[in-house]
A = this chain, B = another copy of it.
Amino acid sequence: MKLLEDRIRKDGKILPGDILKIDCFLNHQIDTKLMDQIGEEFYELFKDTAPTKILTIESSGIAIAYGASRFFGFIPVVFAKKTVAANMAANTYEAKEHSYTRKIEYTVQVAREYLNENDRVLILDDFLANGEAMHALISICQQAGAKIVGCGAVVCKTYQPGEQRIKDLGYQVEVLARVRHMSDDGQIEFE
């Protein structure tokens, strides 16, 4: 997605630890016009999969999922909740996620009433790094017996294993901006 790549080149910052910071338009401040455009792009990529629900994870995935939902005829968005403590609840699906940027493990939860075997789920998230968050969302869909129709992320780095890991599970994976290389002087190259 050319528009997104240009925006990342313009506003992205490279932080120590190979972290791409784009929180001026995605993770902390949100460019809602861009979210609409990202949503439309996901619609174009997944429109043939006929999802009935979009599953994402708080907090950064919410705007992305909302933006996409509008193009899919306002299908419901469900966002998984992250809790640091593993407070088990009887009425939730749960999976573990190890956060790449925060170096901690979360318990990811979705209430059972919002996901079941009749759902066709499109999973969307902001970053696809090692695939931990996406993997947790896939696990939750599997626990619910829901059909996963596709997995989308806004950004990935192609030298990290996440994208291939999810593809290896047999799912359609679409990423809007695929970073091939980030250099210390702030240059970002895309595939």
A175 within 8 A of B: no
User: Do residues A66 and B35 form an inter-chain contact, with CB atoms below 8 A?
Assistant: yes
**Alpha-carbon distance A11/B114, docked complex (angstroms):** 13
- Sorting the interface of chain A by its residue count into under 10, 10 to 19, 20 to 34 or 35 or more gives 20 to 34
Residue of B nearest to A59 (CB): B58
- Of chain B, the residue at the smallest CB distance from A62 is B62
Task: Name A63's contact: one of B23, B66, B84, B111 (CB within 8 Å).
Answer: B66
A118 CB contacts on chain B under 8 angstroms: none
Name 16 interchain pairs, CB-CB below 8 A, sorted by A.
A24-B114, A28-B111, A28-B114, A29-B77, A30-B66, A30-B77, A30-B79, A31-B74, A32-B69, A32-B70, A32-B74, A32-B77, A36-B70, A59-B62, A59-B79, A62-B62
Binding site for B on A (CB under 8 A): 23-24, 28-33, 35-36, 58-59, 62-63, 65-67, 69-70, 74-79, 81, 84, 110-111, 113-114
Question: Could you say which of B23, B30, B31, B76 contacts A30, with CB atoms under 8 Å apart?
Answer: B76
> Which chain B positions have C-beta within 8 A of A36?
70, 74
- Give the 7 A-B CB pairs with smallest separation, nearest first: A58-B59, A33-B74, A32-B69, A30-B77, A59-B59, A29-B114, A62-B62
